[in-house]
Copies of this chain bind each other. A is one copy, B any other.
Amino acid sequence: MSTIIALETHDVRFPTSQTLDGSDAMNPDPDYSAAYVRLVTDADDGLSGHGFVFTIGRGNDVQVAAIEALRPHLVGREVEPLLDDMGAAWDLLVHDSQLRWLGPEKGVMHMATGAVLNALWDLKAKRAGMPLWQLLASMSPEEIVAAVDFRYLRDALTEDEALELLRAAESGRGERTKALLAQGYPAYTTTPGWLGYDDAKLERLSKEAVADGFTQIKLKVGNDLDEDRRRLALARHAVGPDVCIAIDANQRWEVGEAVEWVQALSDADLAWVEEPTSPDDILGHAAIARAIAPIPVATGEHMMNRVMAKQFLQADALQVLQIDATRVAGVSENLAMLLLAAKFGVRVCPHAGGVGLCEAAQHLSMFDFVALSGETDGRFIEYVDHLHEHFVTPVRIEDGHYVTPTEPGAGTEMLASSITEYEVTA
């Protein structure tokens, strides 16, 4: 047995607003940041668990304060009972009734819980000597189901149905693992498409994306219809007819406005329309999806919890679910969302980019391929080429695919030198 002896936090901020990396219709000048947590035990294995919440600058200190609020639950506690039963870890953190009031299960407090749960998953994977995707894919259906909170899901997905889905994917795990290790997992890139980039940069980066083997790129839209039309034409000219182009409005529109705007762009052959309106508007997304079909609606990077995921699926309000590694309560809640998507037969294309989101998200999609949906058709993990150099096990991209990671852990460990260099102190 070993004991958690420290919960360390760090307020880490990168000055990305200086180059307009990450600029979109709602976020003109983000400073990509991480509210970072490290769990330290007294085991002599030298291993610690790392997690974080991705934010875009101001308020990263609030997010750190929320992580700090979880310290009394963790420091001084034996870690094995949590690592051996991640459902118990969830209960400990998510079901603190007083902290729950601050959400419930949404926003700053919920994301803090996610960072800590992810740190525990990271530690569990490191102790197992496996990358997280492989650890998850090696767990039995019963163990996976025990790690998930089915509260509020059971009218759409029961424990038994989840077990069935996982059992159905048990055969073939070995083959798919081999295929994954050989070929990696498809990626698409948002690198060319930030709103703050000029035409030359958009064109150059679009061509580079094709040369690098990507089969889908994404453009930010939503500030000006004529500009969007012009930039889409530029991008299409650069990538040619065979590469897909998705667009992302970052919540810019009203429901009716979204329909009109997308219809005005529909000759651009859109792969999907992302975040057309408020991420909370299930019924609005459903109305948009009906109106612009067959163009798919994609959303999820601001989807606050599994109860929203359930309803988006029940209402046919999205055709592409973009789970986010740090928006919800970590790997544990993302397992619930993957199971829901599998139940409803909807493809999952994780949101990534930011700080460390690519490093974290890849494990979720890879687990899904090996042990749940068994598919990569029409599925991609988002890729943006920022800030990977700050991680101990940065993602690698080859020929438009994520190279399957083999290092132990969840990918969430930042270099100590980067933390030191970019940490903000009050």
Contacts and interface: CB of A to CB of B under 8 A. Distances in A.
Interface in A268-296: 277-284, 287
Given A254-B155, A278-B307, A283-B311, A62 B62 contact: yes
A28 B97 contact: yes
Interface stretch (A43-51, A105-113, A193-201, A360-368): A105-113
A102 B107 contact: yes
B155 A255 contact: yes
A56 B98 CA distance: 5
A280 to B, nearest CB: 4
Contact of A59 (B63, B98, B278): B98
B57 A61 contact: no
Identify which of A112, A278, A280 gathers the most chain B CB atoms within 10 Å of its CB: A280
A55 B152 contact: no
A26 interface: yes
A302 interface: yes
Contacts of A314: 283
Main secondary structure of the interface of A (DSSP, over half): loop
A211 interface: no
Nearest to A57: B98
A168 interface: no
Interface residues of A, number: 60
A29 interface: yes
A337 B100 CA distance: 24
Given A106-B304, A109-B108, A255-B155, A311 B282 contact: yes
Interface string A88-106: 0000000011111111111
A315 B256 CA distance: 18
A419 B355 CA distance: 40
A310 B100 CA distance: 24
Contacts of A61: 65, 69
B107 A254 contact: no
Nearest to A109: B108
B155 A58 contact: no
A112 B27 CA distance: 21
Given A65-B62, A155-B284, A283-B315, A107 B97 contact: no
Interface of A: 26-31, 55-59, 61-63, 65-66, 69, 96-112, 151-152, 154-155, 251, 254-256, 277-284, 287, 302, 304-305, 307-308, 310-311, 314-315
Given A59-B66, A61-B65, A155-B284, 7 more contacts: A30-B101, A58-B98, A59-B109, A152-B254, A152-B277, A154-B255, A155-B287
